[in-house]
Chains A and B, each alone.
Chain A
Amino acid sequence: MSDAADMSVLRARGLRKDYGKGEGLVRAVDGVDLDVRAGETVAVTGPSGCGKSTLLHLLGGLDRPSGGEVSLNGRRIDDIGERALARMRRTDVGFVFQAFHLMEELTAVENVELSALLAGRSPRAARRRAEELLEQVGLADRAGFLPSALSGGQRQRVAVARALSNEPSVVLADEPTGNLDSAATLDVLNLFENLHTSGQTLVVVTHDARIAATADRMLSMRDGVLVDETRLTGGTTGRLGALVGLED
């Protein structure tokens, strides 16, 4: 096994996901091999329906593969039970979704602390951590607001704070700027830059090449297959906004 593979936080081999049967069979993910190292930011790009989101869900244990292997921190997760998968998601994975998926009836701080409460932290510790994270994402003054009172960019920043609540090994972001305008997109990109700088492992699925350009590596996906890999340098240095053309 290579050094790179040994250092992988996330590893996939021959990963496959099929939907339907017989003539109606659709192979959404087709034999994907992938290694994501600790502290690395990987972008997966491709057109809509190419299997990016499915791949992300397989990597995070939200969905079961039809074939192949997925390992997180060296532990196979494709063949473990639902309960073990759930525990793994609590501590090792943070998700950021395109549709934010915040609980509408919970305030920003209550949404952020939810992950920590599910992981069994005390209410006091969970609240303290949530407030710290909201401070980090610049929303300390919005902690008591309901999602409906927040802008799209603010909601996504709450979602990012929630993803970081249990200090996961990897954050998986599915089109995190897909529902945002340019200004909000810049906010989120800056947030991801900070995460990257702090050494957080990040896998971002996006169909927007400008966003992908901020990563260490960009993987291109077509019809369920990873067809290209580009190693980038701009993602770790310089100003992201300028790089992707969102600011001067």
Chain B
Amino acid sequence: MGRILLVGRLAVRDLRRRRVEAVLLLLAIMAATTTLTLGLVLRDVANDPYQSTRAATDGPDVVAGAGLIPGGDRPAELSGLEELAGAPGVVDHSGPYPVTPAELQASGRTSDVQVVGRDAAPAPVDQPEVTQGAWVSDGGVVVESAFAHALDVRVGDPVTLGGRSFEVVGVAVTAAVAPYPETSCLVAVGCASGATPEELSGLPPGLLKNPGLVWLTQADARSLSPDPGSLSYVMNLKLADPAEAQAFAVANARENRGALRLESWVDIREEATESAADAQILLLIGAWLLGLLAVASVSVLVGGRMADQTRRVGLLKAVGGTPSLVAAVLLAEYVLVAVVAAAAGLAVGSLTAPLLAEAGAGLIGRAGTPPMTMSTVVSVTAVALGVAVVATFVPAVRAARSSTVGALAGSARPPRRTGWLIAISARLPVPLLLGLRVAARRPRRVVLSVVSIAVTVSGIYVALILDAFLAADPLAAGVDQAQAEWLRQVLLVVMVIMFSLAAVNAVFITWATVLDNRRSSALARALGATPGEVSAALAAAQVLPALVGAVLGVFPGGFALFHAVNAITGGDGDRATLPPLWQLLGVVSATVLVVAALTAVPARLGGRRPVSETLQAELA
């Protein structure tokens, strides 16, 4: 117990002594834990608006459709649908309602729609909640809210449906189908949602392309269909136990041998929160990339601190601390920071998730604070601890194994010798000669620098593809304009956090390099190198790995990450356009320039340290 207390006390005191570093460590790990929390809880939070809509509209537990087979036996299918109303477990229903495909023209735009005929009187199951205007009446059309928003249609606007004029009398939300553009297909001709313009042009005629949903009176809906026998039907069922909805849908679809289409509220909710699922994937991928960046940040910070803590380690060992105690003290500091970062990430992620999961136009109600499940807490804490332990384990063990006398003398870890690089550098101009040698002294730091930049550039590569895809044709991505904008914002947030962490890494690594090279920089100056040459060398030691990292970040990094994203999401990578060469060259050049700018100040400070003072300090 006393040993644990001692380890805790030493760790806390050292953290207090180095508050700025502790805060930077905390922020680096927190960036990863917050993003991971957001990714894990976003879907739960995004469910809230659907649940609100379901409650407000007496949403169905199962939606059953009939007449979906071209040339099918309509009377038999309709009769099968009506029989479902009396199936075991069904406590209430509405419909069957007729559904017909049509073309809608409004505000100079044309779109395919599915027209559902409804009664003017309220239905016991699925009574769409009117958010503007009124419910259906003869000659009056009610437009699904997300579709109305995408089409910019308002109450009072004239529209043409199947060549006939109607007036928009209302805008409503429903939980019986997913909001536009994810709308379920209720008609026999079939629907194509989420297709690119090229793909749409190749589809058979008659197929509804990205259809919206509108409601008319049953009489108006029937009048739009030239042949009453071609109508499809939809019925909304309420079950005694909503949790049994999926099992009910599967069992009855099987019983009717595919003549009926049954969709549970759980499936509809999945479709309704599709954009949140996309955002969740972006956040989770971002979280893993940020986790890698955080490992690089913490490794550099820990490496820098270890160099600084050599004497402290020697002192601990001299007064009887065993190697395991020394390692435990060093690990405890970072584990403590990681635990705080995990708690903070969980709190910040949970509180900001509702802001990211705002209800789309097709749903009502707001997202609430997500429930904190054990799996979320364990996942986030494990990532935070993983980052801390991976980054500190090797330096801690190395410190624990160091010689007590050497540590007490404060001798720094000897630099590495890379003979071939030293030989090559002799042929280069002075800044590159010194810069390559500076880089070669600490190969592990160079690797961290390359990884940090490569991870960031891979993220940029994928972000460029996704952003272009969302901007060019949101419907092909299965989202409307507003959702596409929202996803692009999520992408931007993740990228900004990644940029920030990568920038912090670049500055950390440069500063660690400056500190580590105090003596050799002073010596180079004593031998005749100018401050400018030494500064340029310190900057070159960062810029050269940045160039390598940026190139690797494009290929294979970004290329592999994009295909990994596709594999995880089941997406079709061929539909996205890879960034053009000029854009990739721009990313590589911009990365190098940004790293050069970020390292300029620390490198300049490092190149101008007083020579005499630094060389004299060796004797102290």
User: A104 within 8 Å of B by Cβ?
Assistant: yes
Contacts A87-B530, A117-B426, A123-B427; A104 near B414 (Cβ below 8 A) = yes
Cα distance A60–B529 in the bound complex, in angstroms:
14
Output the least CB separation between B426 and chain A (Å).
4
List 10 A-B residue pairs with CB atoms under 8 Å apart, sorted by A's residue number: A63-B610, A86-B528, A86-B530, A86-B531, A89-B526, A95-B527, A98-B619, A99-B618, A101-B618, A117-B430
| Residues in chain A near residue B525, CB distance under 8 A | 86, 89
Interface of B is mostly: helix
User: B416 within 8 Å of A by Cβ?
Assistant: yes
| Residues in chain A near residue B441, CB distance under 8 A | 105
B527 and A83 contact, CB distance less than 8 A: no
| Residues in chain B near residue A114, CB distance under 8 A | 524, 527
| Residues in chain B near residue A119, CB distance under 8 A | 528
B426 and A63 contact, CB distance less than 8 A: no
User: A91 within 8 Å of B by Cβ?
Assistant: yes
Nearest chain-B residue to A106 (Cβ)?
A: B422
Nearest chain-B residue to A102 (Cβ)?
A: B523
User: B615 within 8 Å of A by Cβ?
Assistant: yes
Cα distance A243–B573 in the bound complex, in angstroms:
85
A118 and B430 contact, CB distance less than 8 A: yes
A115 and B415 contact, CB distance less than 8 A: no
User: B616 within 8 Å of A by Cβ?
Assistant: yes
Contacts A86-B531, A99-B618, A110-B422; A105 near B415 (Cβ below 8 A) = yes
B426 and A113 contact, CB distance less than 8 A: yes
User: B256 within 8 Å of A by Cβ?
Assistant: no
Among B417, B519, B527, B533, contact of A89 (Cβ-Cβ < 8 Å):
B527
> Contacts A105-B418, A117-B426 given; 19 further ones with Cβ under 8 A?
A53-B616, A54-B612, A63-B610, A82-B530, A86-B533, A87-B528, A89-B527, A97-B615, A99-B615, A99-B618, A101-B615, A103-B523, A104-B414, A104-B415, A105-B415, A110-B422, A118-B433, A123-B426, A123-B427
Interface positions of B from 599 to 618, Cβ below 8 Å from A: 608, 610-612, 615-616, 618
| Residues in chain B near residue A146, CB distance under 8 A | 417
| Residues in chain A near residue B528, CB distance under 8 A | 86-87, 89-91, 115, 118-119, 166
| Residues in chain B near residue A60, CB distance under 8 A | 526
Interface positions of A from 189 to 208, Cβ below 8 Å from B: none
Interface positions of A from 13 to 37, Cβ below 8 Å from B: none
Interface positions of B from 134 to 160, Cβ below 8 Å from A: none
Nearest chain-B residue to A89 (Cβ)?
A: B528
B532 and A83 contact, CB distance less than 8 A: yes
Among A53, A83, A105, A115, contact of B530 (Cβ-Cβ < 8 Å):
A83
Output the least CB separation between A205 and chain B (Å).
12
Interface positions of A from 45 to 70, Cβ below 8 Å from B: 53-54, 57, 60, 62-63
User: B520 within 8 Å of A by Cβ?
Assistant: yes
Interface positions of A from 127 to 183, Cβ below 8 Å from B: 127, 146, 148, 162, 166
Cα distance A103–B529 in the bound complex, in angstroms:
15
User: A72 within 8 Å of B by Cβ?
Assistant: no
| Residues in chain B near residue A90, CB distance under 8 A | 527-528
Output the least CB separation between A109 and chain B (Å).
11
Query: Which one of B441, B526, B531, B608 has the greatest number of beta carbons of chain A within 10 Å?
Result: B526
Among B437, B524, B531, contact of A82 (Cβ-Cβ < 8 Å):
B531
Cα distance A104–B427 in the bound complex, in angstroms:
20
User: B407 within 8 Å of A by Cβ?
Assistant: no
| Residues in chain B near residue A211, CB distance under 8 A | none
- Provide the B117-130 mask, 1 if CB < 8 A to any CB of A, else 0: 00000000000000
Nearest chain-A residue to B617 (Cβ)?
A: A99
Among B422, B430, B523, contact of A105 (Cβ-Cβ < 8 Å):
B422
Cα distance A98–B615 in the bound complex, in angstroms:
10
Residues of B within 8 A of A (CB): 414-418, 422, 426-427, 430, 433, 437, 440-441, 519-520, 523-533, 608, 610-612, 615-616, 618-619
Residues of A within 8 A of B (CB): 53-54, 57, 60, 62-63, 82-83, 86-87, 89-91, 95, 97-99, 101, 103-106, 110, 113-115, 117-120, 123, 126-127, 146, 148, 162, 166
Contacts A110-B422, A123-B426, A126-B426; A115 near B527 (Cβ below 8 A) = yes
A63 and B532 contact, CB distance less than 8 A: no
Output the least CB separation between B525 and chain A (Å).
6
Cα distance A146–B618 in the bound complex, in angstroms:
19
| Residues in chain B near residue A103, CB distance under 8 A | 437, 520, 523
Nearest chain-B residue to A86 (Cβ)?
A: B530
B611 and A62 contact, CB distance less than 8 A: yes
Output the least CB separation between A152 and chain B (Å).
14
Output the least CB separation between B416 and chain A (Å).
7
B527 and A148 contact, CB distance less than 8 A: no
| Residues in chain A near residue B523, CB distance under 8 A | 101, 103
| Residues in chain B near residue A106, CB distance under 8 A | 417, 422
| Residues in chain B near residue A110, CB distance under 8 A | 422
Query: Which one of A63, A82, A104, A105 has the greatest number of beta carbons of chain B within 10 Å?
Result: A105
A83 and B531 contact, CB distance less than 8 A: yes
B531 and A62 contact, CB distance less than 8 A: no
Contacts A62-B611, A63-B611, A118-B430; A101 near B530 (Cβ below 8 A) = no
Q: Which 7 A-B pairs have the closest CB atoms?
A: A90-B528, A63-B612, A86-B530, A105-B417, A57-B612, A123-B426, A62-B612
Nearest chain-B residue to A101 (Cβ)?
A: B523
| Residues in chain B near residue A87, CB distance under 8 A | 528, 530
A118 and B529 contact, CB distance less than 8 A: yes
Query: Which one of A54, A62, A146 has the greatest number of beta carbons of chain B within 10 Å?
Result: A62
Nearest chain-B residue to A17 (Cβ)?
A: B612
Nearest chain-A residue to B434 (Cβ)?
A: A118
Cα distance A82–B612 in the bound complex, in angstroms:
13
Cα distance A103–B608 in the bound complex, in angstroms:
19
Output the least CB separation between A73 and chain B (Å).
15
Query: Which one of B417, B418, B520, B611 has the greatest number of beta carbons of chain A within 10 Å?
Result: B611
Cα distance A99–B526 in the bound complex, in angstroms:
14
Cα distance A162–B523 in the bound complex, in angstroms:
12
Cα distance A242–B440 in the bound complex, in angstroms:
46
Output the least CB separation between A150 and chain B (Å).
14
| Residues in chain A near residue B530, CB distance under 8 A | 82-83, 86-87
Query: Which one of B416, B440, B616 has the greatest number of beta carbons of chain A within 10 Å?
Result: B616
Nearest chain-A residue to B427 (Cβ)?
A: A123
Contacts A83-B530, A83-B531, A106-B422; A118 near B416 (Cβ below 8 A) = no
| Residues in chain B near residue A57, CB distance under 8 A | 611-612
B433 and A117 contact, CB distance less than 8 A: yes
A162 and B527 contact, CB distance less than 8 A: yes
Among A54, A95, A113, contact of B526 (Cβ-Cβ < 8 Å):
A95
| Residues in chain B near residue A95, CB distance under 8 A | 526-527
Cα distance A80–B422 in the bound complex, in angstroms:
32
| Residues in chain A near residue B417, CB distance under 8 A | 105-106, 146
Nearest chain-A residue to B530 (Cβ)?
A: A86
| Residues in chain A near residue B529, CB distance under 8 A | 86, 118
Nearest chain-A residue to B607 (Cβ)?
A: A82
A118 and B527 contact, CB distance less than 8 A: yes
Cα distance A63–B416 in the bound complex, in angstroms:
30
Output the least CB separation between A233 and chain B (Å).
33
Output the least CB separation between A39 and chain B (Å).
23
B422 and A62 contact, CB distance less than 8 A: no
Cα distance A127–B423 in the bound complex, in angstroms:
11
Cα distance A113–B422 in the bound complex, in angstroms:
12
Query: Which one of A83, A115, A117 has the greatest number of beta carbons of chain B within 10 Å?
Result: A117
Nearest chain-B residue to A123 (Cβ)?
A: B426
| Residues in chain A near residue B524, CB distance under 8 A | 114, 118
